[in-house]
Structure 1
């Protein structure tokens, strides 16, 4: 499957060749970016068109799956913030400390950042740490949610992909409930489109 990267964000897309005179982009809720074009259209022209539409693709995808992207909006604020994990939202506590840590303990997330960091540096590290923690938990939990082999993948602007007897799931799905994740796995097994 072809991939392009813009602003450090990958877009993986499927190309279907039909007897059409144009390039059509469709965002499948489950499988991500689907492209329909003529058999004669060069791959370079397709990828150039996808690059041209990349901002629109990301905007539409993130708007469709808002719950998966709230993690990217974390900040050092006085307001109460929450992080979703397996369908539940847990309080986030942010404190200055002598050592940077991010952990889940006693039903809440705790982020300690160094006293000398600027607010921007601390916020960036908070987001990186939360994403890394969720990615690791996804890799740990996803295989236990199905009898087929389930692997964790980066965010490729799709919820997942079936390859042979394997399912690859977007790590961000760990923020949804087990039932929702299992339904996504089942939909991928059945090769549904949305």
Structure 2
């Protein structure tokens, strides 16, 4: 499966060969980016075309899955909320000597040195939150299903079935347990949207 990185985002796509005279990009809600091209079309030309359309791909993907990307816009402002397991939890920001990020008493708490710049603090907040959520995704996905499920990085797809293993985008941890279980079932049954 071809992959490239654009603006710190890994984009993975599937190439399907068919008798067409042009390259077509389709965003499958579940399986990610599908590219249709002629069997005669060189892979390098396909890659160049997909890379040229990367802005459009990311924009459409993130619009379709807006709820999965809330964490990318976190900053140091008050009244922010982080979605986790289908619920939205308040984010509390606290000055501290150590950097911590945790869910405590129904609230996310981020502690950071007050001597840091606002930019550094906000970057660290996003990094810590992503790390914590990725770790939780890895734990929860395995516990909620009889299938073998692994949390994967965000490859601009919800997931992928590879033999008997389901690779599920860690960002789905923002959604409800029922939604995640449905996505796992859909991937296991190799559905498309």
Cα drift, residue 115 of structure 1:
1.5
Please list, as runs of the form range in 1=range in 2, the aligned pairs for 1:169-188 lying within 5 A after superposition: 169-188=168-187
Residue correspondence of structure 1 range 21-170 to structure 2 within 5 A: 21-78=21-78, 80-170=79-169
Residue 189 of structure 1: how far off its partner (Å): 0.9
- Matched residues in 1 for 2:135 and 2:30: separation? 22
Provide, for residues 78-137 of structure 1, a one-character-per-residue CA deviation record: whole Å limited to 9, x for no partner: 3x1111111111110001111111111111110011121011110010011000000000
| Alpha-carbon separation, structure 1, partners of 2:89 and 2:25 | 37
**C-alpha distance in structure 1 between counterparts of 2:14 and 2:98, whole Å:** 44
Root-mean-square deviation over aligned CA pairs: 0.7
- Gaps in structure 1 of 5+ consecutive residues: none
1:55 and 1:115 map into 2 onto residues whose CA distance is: 36
Normalization by structure 1: what TM-score?
A: 0.98
Q: SS at the partner of 2:69? A: helix
Distance 1:36 1:158 in 2: 17
Q: If the length of structure 2 is used for normalisation, what is the TM-score?
A: 0.98
Aligned residue pairs: how many?
A: 193
Bigger drift between 58-67 and 90-99 goes to 90-99
Query: 1:162, CA displacement in angstroms?
Result: 0.5
- Corresponding residue SS for 2:184: helix
Question: Aligned equivalents of 1:40 and 1:72: distance in 2?
Answer: 40
**Which stretch of the first structure deviates more once superposed, 22-31 or 140-149?**
140-149
- Runs of 4+ displaced beyond 3 Å: none
